Structure 1
């Protein structure tokens, strides 16, 4: 599969991480959904400083272009579902519960800069090789992982006669303790057995992208547990 084409975004999962970027195990630490419009991953870079040597007569004796620095990605997620669980994981702000203990809303409070979350996105691939007779799995997806996003906050909200879209912003961080992750997201053998990442991201990396034949999780409108992979060894 040398030339995969992205058809459209399919499913997204947010996972709560701690102050060191490690996934937090437990029943209420992830949320899987598909009611979103787009996820923008905008590169945040510094251009660096150019070095230029100019003689008294105006001649340029030497020039060196500054080396850009990559600071990470500024993410912008536009979504439709006003899910207290999703917003709580992304922003760190509290959920409002009903009489039966179920989430019914959320509070907008301060920006929780010490909280964080991971984003995984599956986008469908247009490629007949994924469905060939000798292929494993039921298709193929481009898988994006940003294992440590911080400074999550909701943007402006306008409620009127049009469809309402919520906007979540944040920024990625390098390093962290995601490791190989708590989920089975890629084949680990020729039979297509699903497993965790084979290798962790490097200490200066912000995102990993690859093609997988392991199907994404099913969207549900409630918290989902984080209990596999690294959690089994903790």
Structure 2
């Protein structure tokens, strides 16, 4: 794998209670005003088995097998976007007189809501551009297709810059399939398309190199459309 330079863009997509992308005009959001996206492994240590004789001699030993529960996700960001917070936490947007989003409400944790997270990180190296002329660079692409229990952390406003922190936890399975977005080349010509294969039922994250450029950040929702929506 090439070297990662720095994180570039994040996209979040609303998913339903089964991990399916929800099609519609207000179900995606792209942004770049963030500091870090942490993906911390949540692992339960296995239980070791030891057989010890009465005289103290160990007759047998088996190391326990750890269980991978998923990733604990922590996003630190600067942009107080009602759209981002609404998709990730399920809490409602506050609208102004002209119908534009101006804020959000902090309510109960919406454990039945979910979202997918995609991250593009720039790649270092002399060979980041395809030799056949396709694409405009290379990125490491991370996909966590099913994150639940989105919750905003503590907020301290004072004389220094304020960060918002969003936490959540990945789930395996779900029904993201190949996804609603074009994220990788489908052929040698670099034609952008969705994932070539769905993730496995026990998988939480997919990572690969792509020369399909990330989406452009914006100030409003983006629509979730495409072949996945036409088939649903």
Q: TM-score range by the shorter chain?
A: over 0.9
Aligned position for 2:226: 228
SS of 1:87's equivalent in the other structure is helix
The CA deviation string for residues 44-64 of structure 1, in whole angstroms up to 9 with x for no partner, is 111111000111111111100
Aligned position for 1:181: 179
| Paired positions, count | 232
Q: Is the 8 A contact 1:50 1:64 kept in 2?
A: yes
Aligned position for 2:101: 103
Residue 228 of structure 1: how far off its partner (Å): 1.6
Q: How does 1:79-94 map to 2 (within 5 A)?
A: 79-94=77-92
Tell me the TM-score normalised to structure 1 length: 0.97
1:207 matched to 2:205: yes
Question: In the alignment, which of 47, 51, 54 is matched to residue 53 of structure 1?
Answer: 51
Aligned position for 2:146: 148
1:69 matched to 2:67: yes
Tell me the TM-score normalised to structure 2 length: 0.98
Q: Is the 8 A contact 1:53 1:61 kept in 2?
A: yes
The CA deviation string for residues 183-218 of structure 1, in whole angstroms up to 9 with x for no partner, is 000001000000000000000100000000000000
2: CA distance, partners of 1:134 / 1:186: 16
The CA deviation string for residues 159-194 of structure 1, in whole angstroms up to 9 with x for no partner, is 011111000000000000100000000001000000
Distance 1:132 1:184, change over 3 A: closer
2: CA distance, partners of 1:107 / 1:152: 14
1: CA distance, partners of 2:195 / 2:6: 23
2: CA distance, partners of 1:224 / 1:61: 62
1:22 matched to 2:58: no
Q: Is the 8 A contact 2:23 2:229 kept in 1?
A: yes
Q: Is the 8 A contact 1:188 1:194 kept in 2?
A: yes
Residue 132 of structure 1: how far off its partner (Å): 5.4
SS of 1:89's equivalent in the other structure is helix
Aligned position for 2:7: 9
Q: Is the 8 A contact 2:130 2:211 kept in 1?
A: no
Residue 130 of structure 1: how far off its partner (Å): 2.1
2: CA distance, partners of 1:138 / 1:24: 30
Residue 126 of structure 1: how far off its partner (Å): 0.8
Residue 133 of structure 1: how far off its partner (Å): 4.6
2: CA distance, partners of 1:146 / 1:182: 14
Residue 134 of structure 1: how far off its partner (Å): 2.9
Q: Is the 8 A contact 1:181 1:229 kept in 2?
A: no
SS of 1:90's equivalent in the other structure is helix
Q: Is the 8 A contact 2:120 2:214 kept in 1?
A: yes
Off by >4 Å, runs of 4+ in structure 1: none
